[in-house]
Amino acid sequence: MSAKNQRIAVAKTYKIYIGGKFPRTESGRYFALEDKKGNVIANVCRGSRKDFRNAVVAARKAQSGWATASAYLRGQVLYRIAEMLEGRREQFVTELVLQGATQRAAEKEIDQSIDRLIYFAGWTDKYQQIFSAVNPVSSSHFNFSVLEPTGVVSMLAPEDSSLLGLISNIAPAIAGGNSCIVLASESKPLCAISFAEVLHASDVPGGVVNILTGFRAELTEYFASHMDVNAVIYCDGGKAVARTVQVLAAENIKRVIARNRLDWDSDAENPYLIRDTQEVKTTWHPIGS
Amino acid sequence: MATPENKLAFDGGWEYDPAPESTDHINVAKRYGLFINGEFVSPENGRYFDTINPATEEKLSRVADASEADVDKAVRAAREAYRTTWGRMKAAERGKYIFRIARIMQERAREFSVIESLDGGKPIRESRDVDIPLAAAHFFYYAGWADKLEYAFPGRTAKSLGVAGQIIPWNFPLLMASWKIAPALACGNTVVLKPAETTPLTALKLAEVIADAGLPPGVVNIVTGAGKAGAAIVEHPDVDKVAFTGSTNVGRGIQKALAGSNKKYTLELGGKAANIVFADAAIDQAVEGIVNGIFFNQGHVCCAGSRLLVQESVADEVIEKLKDRMETLIVGDPLDKNTDIGAINSRMQLEKIQSYLKVGKAEGAEMHQSSCRVPKSGYWCRPTIFTGVSQSNRVVQEEIFGPVLAIQTFRRYDEALIKANNTPYGLSGGIWTDKGSKIFKMTQNIRAGVVWANTFNKFDPTSPFGGYKESGVGREGGLHGLDAYVKLGA
Amino acid sequence: MALAAVKKSGRLPDLSRVPAVDEVGVNERVARFQTRSIKKSSKVEALKLILSMIDLTTLEGQDTPGKVRQLCQKAIHLHDTMPGLPHVAAVCVYPTMVSVAKEVLQGHDINIASVATAFPSGMSTLSVKLDDTRMAVAAGATEIDMVISRGAFLAGDYRYVFDEIVAVKEACGDAHLKVILETGELGTLDRVRKASVLAMHAGADFIKTSTGKIQPAATMQVTLVMLQAIRDFYHDTGKMIGMKPAGGISTAKLAVHYLVMLRETLGNAWMTPEWFRFGASTLANDVLMQIVKQSTGVYQSSDYFSKD
């Protein structure tokens, strides 16, 4: 091929996703992502403590609006994410392969990811009916318990299952009206950022999902300690991580949800994942005339 | 509005003679050991401490001061019982044992009431009408769940956890023991429970009931002691679950202490609930709700309505009526059937409350107390309200855990909501209005686990209780209270 | 007097500003009064006070002068074997029996209350009601127990009800006016509170729960709501209004609970027959039995107390 006809491919800049925008990390830092052979695939933002802080502000701002959006609307938005993901299926396969998956495994993962979104899209207007209760108290009161989102959830996504695992954490949290800040897989961050682009194109209000890339060892403490985060989910952390997260989370009595050794193929399709980031609210009212 | 000329007079005139509940039918031993493996045993180190009557400062009994070794013995007994009897028993049979406990408690209700009031200082009216009946009802409710757990968790199977370590506070001693023990047993776990240092007696009487009910040895173990015994339970490697009710600070310590372990935990911690009264409320019932909200159990209630937010247009009227109502509250002998407000639970707690009264005054708030007499010995605090406080005051922000109400005003519902939620706590809240849609708007937006609309401080075994934010993790009571004591499998 | 004549005389209170009442909250408050344990000398004091607050009542179609005379004798001689007991506050009879009562009670400090205004239904014209009232007053009634027009009230015609009370009050002259709301027909505590406010503004000296002819008659719940209305009226105007629960209060124990409620709602100033009455026919004997029991320590039989 002659130089004259050669087209230079446009390399993608992988930026982080905060408050519905794609900034570079405020720190200006990056890390080079390499394939198995040591070739640089991309320069990835090395997110910072301040990026996380900004993401929490965005998540807090978005949370109440998302929580009060109708269950039907949340379902449609989740469904829309699935539609958009389906449309960009090939891109995700490519990225998964680039990060070391076989073609077959990559295709399976994207298919499952799309289906998982559909699964949780269908739950938004049903889990309340499964987990709520009217409580037959002895006094003359009407008493009922409903679920409400815990609020702002920070997530340390699974390291290996970089797309399916990521979506299996995000989908139940937002299906239930939470907003979240997710730290993508450190070794396989590409799909997370591409997924952020899908979210961006899918009517998900800015700030409901925020995705950072960076070093887990550096950022874990902030994900666990921030006083305006209501729950922290960590995946595949060892004992040391568990200890760090829980000790720091205790400062504001965060809910700590450990998702260790979860089989994302089979263990992550149930409404109990939604319930993990829900609070039970019980209301009493007299029955009289 | 009342002017000085047309104020109501509640002093003098016809007064109620003392009406003390008799104590001749109760039986408190001079000394109690630890209830381990179905019998009362001496503590390893031979140490005991006094439990006193806070109304008289007289000694009621001596109870064992459990050490780490005693806790270990209790946990071993619980493990053994889990392995050999309780964990293997048919669920329906387990349930029948728990029903038995409920029944025996009902039979001995009067004895329990009197001891609860003697040991903790709460008025007999409350221990008789609230604490003890609710405690028995809690066992009755959860007994029935024992063989129905498959219906509680659709699509999952619920399995018991093993040994539950439980630490309870001094404000509702027997009731909290029931909230902890009943669901744990129903779900197939065995228990090591530590009652609070100042109120151990009814838990020890409950040990007698459990023995009388014929539960296999070791299924429920009750170890008395101080914070060290509690820490030994939390840190014991063979405890599978920790349930704690108490202060947020201690709860935070427990969450940290459990870090890195796989122990499940539930925490029921502090609160600073807003009780919001709108101008269109049923004012007289709202005033009564304010009184129940803050003066129930001397204000030693984590979900107490300790912040009153009242709409400006009715603030003067509500405060006036509240003051009148406070004049009719009788403070004194907890065993007197007419007592409304009993003794403060301990000298330490009284000093804490008094320090907050100083803080409130120093912050510039106006303090008003009812004019009632209080006894000379014992620990007492008159019902107290602070007006002219603002969100930045410590008496508004911090949990006082006494009969002390901070009153703020608001103009618009959104202002009330912002103030109500402007706290690290989220246990409970109250809202008073005659307008249905406003009730739902408010109850949806108050970030708290229990919201009372046009009522306050109501409890029921079927009704889940627990907090958002720093008020805790998990729920106790109702269907949702089962979660804390099971692991779910596919 | 025609209604039109009184229309300008009274200003109808703004009933939309009457606070709402929550029934369950009222029930809880009442239950709390009932947990008060009244013993020893405070019980004796209460029992004597109750006796002095009784409007000894007979309101039956079969009432005769003979029956009324016996009732009046009972009012004077409650239980003479026990010295130092108070007499009742009043006897309460139909207008046609007032003269009989007056004759027997001559020289005794016992009021004569007469129901009037087409008692108990109140289903008649204003002029008939006013005649009824004037007749009772002329015969010697010192207190008039009128009924409000519940039909008009339920239909929302508050102006009619108000004007009617104003007119009857005027017809009473010096006699005290007790306004019977017949709470058992009003249906909700909200309406009880509104009707109380209406009656007090229209000139009632007392508000009264019931005729005794409709169930439920007096309950602690409606009485509490009415006491709270009295308190608010006092706060607003400085004017004390009396309260009379009537019908269904037949035991001393229940009457003591009413006193507890009165004391803790309105305070000491109301704890006299001037401001509180029990409308009852059989309460007195139960109170007497309790008083004798308190002094002798022996439980009593009704065979030893006169049934008039």
Q: Give the CATH number for residue A42.
A: 3.40.605.10
Q: Pick from B10, B125, B282: which is nearest to C21 by CB?
A: B282
Whether the ipTM is more than 0.90: the answer is yes
Per residue in B102-111, pLDDT (tens digit) is 999 999 999 9
What's residue B239's pLDDT? 98
pLDDT more than 90, % of chain C: 92
Whether residue B8 and residue C263 make contact (CB cut-off 8 A), yes or no, is: no
Whether residue C22 and residue A140 make contact (CB cut-off 8 A), yes or no, is: no
Q: How many whole angstroms separate alpha carbon C67 and alpha carbon C211?
A: 19
Count other Cβ atoms within 10 Å, centred on residue B369: 15
Count the domains in chain A.
1
What's the residue count for chain C? 308
Q: Which listed residue (C55, C145, C163, C205) is catalytic?
A: C145
Whether residue B464 and residue A280 make contact (CB cut-off 8 A), yes or no, is: yes
Per residue in C93-127, pLDDT (tens digit) is 999 999 999 999 999 999 999 999 999 999 999 99
Q: How many whole angstroms separate alpha carbon C96 and alpha carbon B5?
A: 42
Evaluate if residue C6 carries a pLDDT over 60: no
Does A8 fall in a domain? no
Q: How many whole angstroms separate alpha carbon A280 and alpha carbon B467?
A: 8
For chain B, the average pLDDT equals: 97
Does A22 fall in a domain? no
Per residue in B182-226, pLDDT (tens digit) is 999 999 999 999 999 999 999 999 999 999 999 999 999 999 999
- Closest CA relative to residue A283, chosen from C255, B382, B179, B478: B478
Q: How many whole angstroms separate alpha carbon C262 and alpha carbon C276?
A: 9
Residue B336's identity, in one-letter code, is: D
Q: Pick from A136, A272, A285: which is nearest to B453 by CB?
A: A285
What's residue C306's pLDDT? 86
A116 membership: H or E segment, kind and range: helix A103-121
Q: How many whole angstroms separate alpha carbon B454 and alpha carbon B451?
A: 10
Determine the average pLDDT of the residues in B40-51: 97
Count other Cβ atoms within 10 Å, centred on residue C278: 30
Cα A173 off chain centre by: 7
Residue A150's identity, in one-letter code, is: T
As averages over each run of 10 residues, the pLDDT of chain A (289 residues) reads 74 92 96 89 95 98 97 98 98 95 97 98 98 98 98 97 98 98 97 97 97 97 98 93 96 96 92 98 96
Indicate the SS3 state at residue A183: strand
Name the neighbours of C, counting chains with at least 3 Cβ pairs within 8 A.
Answer: A, B
If you count residue pairs, one on A and one on B, with CB atoms under 8 Å apart, how many are there? 117
Chain B window 243-262: which residues touch A at a Cβ cutoff of 8 Å?
248, 251-253, 255-256, 258-260
- Give me the torsion for CA of A71, A77, A79, A85, rounded to 10°: -160
Evaluate if residue B449 carries a pLDDT over 90: yes
Q: Which CATH superfamily is domain B271-453 in?
A: Aldehyde Dehydrogenase; Chain A, domain 2 (3.40.309.10)
Q: Tell me whether residue C244 is one of the annotated catalytic residues.
A: yes
Whether the CB of A143 is below 8 Å from some CB of chain B: the reply is yes
Alpha carbon of C156: minimum distance to chain A alpha carbons (Å):
18
| Per-residue tokens: A121 | 């899209």
Model confidence at B152, pLDDT cuts 50, 70, 90, reads very high
Evaluate if residue C3 carries a pLDDT over 50: no
Per residue in B385-426, pLDDT (tens digit) is 999 999 999 999 999 999 999 999 999 999 999 999 999 999
Does C4 fall in a domain? no
Cβ-based burial of A115 (10 A; exposed 0-12, middle 13-18, buried ≥19): middle
| Per-residue tokens: B280 | 């269109």
What's the residue count for chain B? 490
Count other Cβ atoms within 10 Å, centred on residue B418: 13
Domain edges within chain B: 31-269+468-489, 271-453
For C20, the closest chain A residue by CA position comes to: A289
Q: Pick from B251, B449, B479: which is nearest to A253 by CB?
A: B251
Query: Which residues of chain A make contact with C25, given a CB cutoff of 8 A?
Result: 286, 288
- Could you confirm whether domain B31-269+468-489 is CATH 3.40.605.10? yes
B265 in Cβ contact with B243 (< 8 Å):
yes
- Closest CA relative to residue A94, chosen from A110, A82, A73, A83: A110
Alpha carbon of A139: minimum distance to chain C alpha carbons (Å):
9
For A142, the closest chain C residue by CA position comes to: C24
What's residue B2's pLDDT? 60
Model confidence at C4, pLDDT cuts 50, 70, 90, reads very low
Q: How many whole angstroms separate alpha carbon A15 and alpha carbon A17?
A: 7
Does A161 fall in a domain? yes
Domain housing A152: 30-286
| Per-residue tokens: A106 | 């990559």
Domain housing C192: 36-292
Whether residue B5 and residue C38 make contact (CB cut-off 8 A), yes or no, is: no
Does C22 fall in a domain? no
User: Residue C264 belongs to a domain with what CATH number?
Assistant: 3.20.20.70
Q: Pick from A135, A247, A272: which is nearest to B460 by CB?
A: A135
Secondary structure percentages of chain A, helix, strand, coil, to 5: 40, 20, 35
If you count residue pairs, one on B and one on C, with CB atoms under 8 Å apart, how many are there? 92
| Per-residue tokens: C2 | 């025609």
Whether residue B8 and residue C269 make contact (CB cut-off 8 A), yes or no, is: yes
Secondary structure letter of residue C250 according to DSSP: -
A230 in Cβ contact with A151 (< 8 Å):
yes
What's residue A3's pLDDT? 65
Evaluate if residue C10 carries a pLDDT over 80: no
Q: Which listed residue (B21, B111, B197, B268) is catalytic?
A: B268
Secondary structure letter of residue B471 according to DSSP: G
| Per-residue tokens: C216 | 């439920």
Whether the CB of B265 is below 8 Å from some CB of chain A: the reply is no
- Closest CA relative to residue B309, chosen from B301, B296, B318, B297: B318
Does A20 fall in a domain? no
Q: Which residues contact A102 (CB under 8 A, 6 or more apart)?
A: none
Suggest the residue from A253, A261, A276, A279 to mutate for an interface test with chain B (most B CBs closer than 10 A).
A253
Does C103 fall in a domain? yes
Does A12 fall in a domain? no
Q: Which listed residue (B302, B303, B372, B381) is catalytic?
A: B302
Evaluate if residue C274 carries a pLDDT over 80: yes
Count the domains in chain C.
1
Whether the CB of B488 is below 8 Å from some CB of chain A: the reply is yes
Does C21 fall in a domain? no
Q: Pick from A133, A141, A242: which is nearest to B478 by CB?
A: A133
Model confidence at B490, pLDDT cuts 50, 70, 90, reads confident
Output the furthest CA–CA distance in chain A (Å, rounded): 89
pTM: 0.96
- Closest CA relative to residue B268, chosen from B472, B481, B450: B472
